Amino acid sequence: MSKLRVAVLGAKGRIGSEAVRAVEAADDLELVAALGRGDKLETLVEAGAQVVVELTTPDAVMENLDFCLRHGIHGVVGTTGWTDERLAQLRTWLDAAPGAGVLIAPNFSIGAVLTMRFAQQAARFFESAEIIELHHPNKADAPSGTAARTAQLIAEARAEAGCPPQPDATRTALDGARGADVDGVPVHSVRLRGLLAHQEVLLGGVGETLTIRHDSLHHSSFMPGILLGVRRVVDTPGLTVGLENFLDLG
Amino acid sequence: MSKLRVAVLGAKGRIGSEAVRAVEAADDLELVAALGRGDKLETLVEAGAQVVVELTTPDAVMENLDFCLRHGIHGVVGTTGWTDERLAQLRTWLDAAPGAGVLIAPNFSIGAVLTMRFAQQAARFFESAEIIELHHPNKADAPSGTAARTAQLIAEARAEAGCPPQPDATRTALDGARGADVDGVPVHSVRLRGLLAHQEVLLGGVGETLTIRHDSLHHSSFMPGILLGVRRVVDTPGLTVGLENFLDLG
Amino acid sequence: MSKLRVAVLGAKGRIGSEAVRAVEAADDLELVAALGRGDKLETLVEAGAQVVVELTTPDAVMENLDFCLRHGIHGVVGTTGWTDERLAQLRTWLDAAPGAGVLIAPNFSIGAVLTMRFAQQAARFFESAEIIELHHPNKADAPSGTAARTAQLIAEARAEAGCPPQPDATRTALDGARGADVDGVPVHSVRLRGLLAHQEVLLGGVGETLTIRHDSLHHSSFMPGILLGVRRVVDTPGLTVGLENFLDLG
Amino acid sequence: MSKLRVAVLGAKGRIGSEAVRAVEAADDLELVAALGRGDKLETLVEAGAQVVVELTTPDAVMENLDFCLRHGIHGVVGTTGWTDERLAQLRTWLDAAPGAGVLIAPNFSIGAVLTMRFAQQAARFFESAEIIELHHPNKADAPSGTAARTAQLIAEARAEAGCPPQPDATRTALDGARGADVDGVPVHSVRLRGLLAHQEVLLGGVGETLTIRHDSLHHSSFMPGILLGVRRVVDTPGLTVGLENFLDLG
């Protein structure tokens, strides 16, 4: 079987350089280009790239994808900054490139994606749902984007299922004790030296609790998700948003 | 809307008496009979029961279901002891009772069922999978039936996906340190005063781990699953094995 | 060896009735009286009580202890509401009753007391310390008194050791995300159906974290601490505040 | 205040090179020598070293300490392989070097040392005690040395306090399910990709459990313990075994 020809854009970044190594190490993939800022996109065509892993910046991503889709190259995109306008533009380009596929994934960690998915599926069966996210103390925002997104997904699932508000008899509380309120789901942010990136979803019903915890120790955890995206995007024309769509979760 | 008419068999047992109260407390259900050992099954017909919650013993369950299905009464069954022969017999009865449905559930805890389901879905994405189950020290068997079943489901999912054996460089070990081997999945059983029934599924890949934990504190946790079964079995003709089939997990 | 003669005041309350059973079940103790509201204190003298377990209300406790100390009866006190004035009054009574001892314990759970003690001892060795306390959703206050007290003990220990403020680079946060600030120690309160009373102290330094978690499942967990108090108070004249003083922790 | 003059032996090893950086970064310490295999010990004297951090190998450690003590240099030793004979020899050298101190620490992680200490202190108050240790799957031995040592400390504490054997009603078990038996304390070893080095001590009594968990994410976690040893050993003549002796735990 011939190998899939893969290029990495943003190859000198922290995640990009890891992606270069991951593609090189995969038996079924061949790294044909690894471009950094300033390198010419034409190289992708000359190298015969079939899929591009796009790990650059919001400044560069649109030009890169425009070029790729005009040349029939699929894309796996980790770069952020997607607005409705940008997504509409991307869809136009995809319409003009039949057969080409693009995966945009806000999170390539399979563990994080599964955590969100399971939380969303389980939420309507329990009276209570809260999130604790724990990170190193150098993090600037609280809660984490992943935790806020997970809380929204839980809230949506509960609303759709017609769940009543969560029980909470708190009458006197110190400011902040009950966490941040994200669409009715309390989210608690711990910042502790020695930690990296962790998230715990707690669901509780009469007589039982279900806890889903994701511990992320290194950005190497993004690699299996990126490689899975590369292998699947070539058979998935059009736009796919979210790695969960490639996990065959039923 | 008229209420669904529900009877409980085994109504004096620990779970049965809880089920009686749960049916009584539900707005959309009406408790029309609560039978114990020695009570006449004809009562079910006189009371106009539409669904029976069967929480008796392996000795009594077949006779009870035979009677119910001959009278077009649906069944939600928590009684254990199901062999292939018994299941075949039950299917014969169901064939002769078109429209009637029976749910057999080895576990009515929604949390336990979701834990098994999520473990099964996630298993193929991680290199490693182990289970820790923790119970009070009066438990006679180790590992728990739920943990053994979860390990089998994980092993099946990994085999189907073509996962290689789990990495394990252990060369010198004390007897038992690495747990029990259930189809290649290590299972560890903790027995500790103060605990009730708990299970933790640990999944690990490069740079990340995913942990799914179920804590069961009281058998009242079975009630939401039993009520869900009652509401759904009336629209699900034939035999259904496992509460997961009623959870719409996609 | 003759048994120690013990009376319980507040014997009909939830904890009191449990204490009655615990004293009766102990080989080295004899239950000689179990008084409820309205019963006469003189019974204690007639019964020859040596130690009283005081589990009544702030309204009754002072009169009860005054009586006991005037008759040379030791006290193990779980009743709350102790002000500086009340403690001063109690000390006056103790001065007049040489040999008599009183233990006042805000918490008789040995696990809770050890958690506080260990948190206090460990705090100065770590850069970061946060507390997560988790309770059933019927609890009226947040954070729990135990969590607030633990945070104070941690803060005191850090101040004494000259620890700098905890690292925290948070610049943008949703209201409440970083928890309640108790003397510089963030405390997060989770309220979840299915839970009882749980507390987790997280300590973090470069490259490592230490977590001390106490799970309280039933108020029967207070009994070993109450019995320990009874056995030790007879040899500990004067006032002792806190069960930790009887745990020989060095 | 003049700085303490510190040398590192084994300065090119994984831990040694980290120790060099840690000493350099400490305001109150001055790195005066960093020796690797083949470097001359006389350098220590020429550099005026007051304390040596000994992180070499069992082959080299005795010669190094002999030299240091003959020149009045204190030692903080992480090198393993200490037999009763070696300890006796070391004591002889210390007797001949009044004022000189040596700290031998099997573990410089303060979190690990506190975990053992707290487990030891708490063990006698609970009916049940088990240990779960979790490591990356490249580890060759199970259980870990730290877990085995912790189990022994727990067993000793329970024996001293006259605790009965742990409750365990297990009648039928799969081989290994109940873990390894270390002096009556079950120890369970998990090996999971994505993990580093983790240990959980579970203690359980009626109605409550106490869990002490240590997560070690990087050997940088040894540095605070090494620096603490350096600062304290100069005022602690003679032999000290175990970092816990310098933690002022009372």
Is residue D216 less than 8 Å (CB to CB) from chain C?
Answer: yes
D212/C211 CB distance under 8 A: yes
- Return d(Cα B26, Cα B44) in angstroms, integer: 20
Does residue B250 carry a pLDDT above 90?
Answer: no
Name the minimum distance, in Å, from the CA of C210 to any CA of chain A.
10
Is residue B217 less than 8 Å (CB to CB) from chain C?
Answer: yes
Does residue B139 carry a pLDDT above 70?
Answer: yes
B210/A214 CB distance under 8 A: yes
Does residue A38 carry a pLDDT above 70?
Answer: yes
**Given A40, A74, A135, A218, the catalytic residue:** A135
Please write the tens of the pLDDT for every residue from D172-220. Answer: 999 999 999 999 999 999 999 999 999 999 999 999 999 999 999 988 9
* Residue D139 a catalytic site member: yes
- Return d(Cα C216, Cα C219) in angstroms, integer: 8
Is residue D224 less than 8 Å (CB to CB) from chain A?
Answer: no
Helix (H, G, I), strand (E, B) or coil at C131: strand
**Given D135, D188, D198, D214, the catalytic residue:** D135
Interface of D with C in 115-174 (CB under 8 A): 115, 118, 121-122, 125-126
Tell me which residues of C are annotated as active site: 135, 139
Is residue A217 less than 8 Å (CB to CB) from chain B?
Answer: yes
- Most C-contacting residue of B217, B218, B220, B222 (CB-CB within 10 A), to test interface: B217
Please write the tens of the pLDDT for every residue from C74-130. Answer: 999 999 899 999 999 999 999 999 999 999 999 999 999 999 999 999 999 999 999
What amino acid is encoded at C178 in this protein? Answer: R
Write out D113-163 in H/E/C secondary structure: HHHHHHHHHHHHHCCEEEEEEEECCCCCEECCHHHHHHHHHHHHHHHHCCC
Is residue A13 less than 8 Å (CB to CB) from chain B?
Answer: no
Please write the tens of the pLDDT for every residue from C213-233. Answer: 999 988 899 999 999 999 999
Please write the tens of the pLDDT for every residue from D3-19. Answer: 999 999 999 999 999 99
Residue A19: both structure tokens together: 């992606």
D141/B170 CB distance under 8 A: yes
Is residue B196 less than 8 Å (CB to CB) from chain C?
Answer: yes
Does residue A200 carry a pLDDT above 70?
Answer: yes
**Residue pair B135/B189 in contact by the 8 Å Cβ criterion:** yes
**Residue pair B157/B124 in contact by the 8 Å Cβ criterion:** yes
Please write the tens of the pLDDT for every residue from D123-139. Answer: 999 999 999 999 999 99
Residue C129: both structure tokens together: 């310390």
Average pLDDT over residues B93-101: 96
Give residue D55's pLDDT.
Answer: 96
Least confident of A50-59, C217-226, D46-55: C217-226
Is residue B224 less than 8 Å (CB to CB) from chain C?
Answer: no
H helices present in A166-234, as ranges: 223-233
Give residue A249's pLDDT.
Answer: 85
Q: Which of A187, A179, A177 is nearest to A149 (CA)?
A: A187
Residue D76: both structure tokens together: 């903080």
Q: Which of A219, D149, D225 is nearest to C210 (CA)?
A: D225
CB-based burial of residue D203 (10 Å sphere; 0-12 exposed, 13-18 middle, 19+ buried)? buried
Chain C: residue whose CA lies nearest to B196: C217
Per-residue CA distances from D146 to D54, D143, D149 (Å): 21, 8, 5
Average pLDDT over residues A178-183: 98
Q: Indicate if the alpha-carbon torsion angle D54, D58, D62, D64 is positive or negative.
A: negative
Phi then psi for residue A29, to 5 deg, are: -125, 150
Q: With a threshold of 0.85, tell me whether the complex ipTM lies above it.
A: yes
- Most C-contacting residue of A146, A193, A213 (CB-CB within 10 A), to test interface: A193
- Return d(Cα B189, Cα B144) in angstroms, integer: 8
Q: What is the mean pLDDT of chain D?
A: 96
* Residue D40 a catalytic site member: no
Does residue C44 carry a pLDDT above 70?
Answer: yes
Per-residue CA distances from B63 to B12, B41, B66, B67, B136 (Å): 18, 10, 5, 6, 35
A20 pLDDT band (50/70/90 cuts)? Answer: very high
C249 pLDDT band (50/70/90 cuts)? Answer: confident
Residue B152: both structure tokens together: 């089998």
**Residue C102: alpha-carbon gap to chain centroid:** 14
Residues contacting D84, CB < 8 A, separation 6+: none
Does residue D94 carry a pLDDT above 70?
Answer: yes
Does residue B1 carry a pLDDT above 70?
Answer: no
Helix (H, G, I), strand (E, B) or coil at C33: strand
**Given A40, A74, A139, A218, the catalytic residue:** A139
Among the partner residues C134, C137, C179, nearest to A176 by beta-carbon distance: C179
Cα dihedral D68/D70/D71/D73 (nearest 10)? 40
**Residue pair A129/A154 in contact by the 8 Å Cβ criterion:** yes
Does residue D250 carry a pLDDT above 80?
Answer: no
Name the minimum distance, in Å, from the CA of A223 to any CA of chain D.
13
D48 is in an annotated binding site: no
D215/C211 CB distance under 8 A: yes
- Return d(Cα B137, Cα B150) in angstroms, integer: 21
Give residue C219's pLDDT.
Answer: 86
Is residue A225 less than 8 Å (CB to CB) from chain C?
Answer: no
C174/A195 CB distance under 8 A: no
A12 is in an annotated binding site: yes
- Binding-site residues of B sit at 10-15, 78-80, 105-108, 136, 145-146
Chain C: residue whose CA lies nearest to B221: C194
B221/A215 CB distance under 8 A: no
Average pLDDT over residues B23-27: 97
Give residue D219's pLDDT.
Answer: 85
Please write the tens of the pLDDT for every residue from A214-235. Answer: 999 988 999 999 999 999 999 9
Chain B: residue whose CA lies nearest to C221: B194
Name the minimum distance, in Å, from the CA of A133 to any CA of chain D.
17
Q: What is the pTM of this model?
A: 0.93
**Given B3, B40, B74, B135, the catalytic residue:** B135
**Residue pair B129/B203 in contact by the 8 Å Cβ criterion:** yes
**Residue pair B76/B23 in contact by the 8 Å Cβ criterion:** no
Give residue D16's pLDDT.
Answer: 96
Residue C11: both structure tokens together: 């014997």
Name the minimum distance, in Å, from the CA of C168 to any CA of chain D.
20
Does residue B151 carry a pLDDT above 80?
Answer: yes
Give residue D76's pLDDT.
Answer: 98
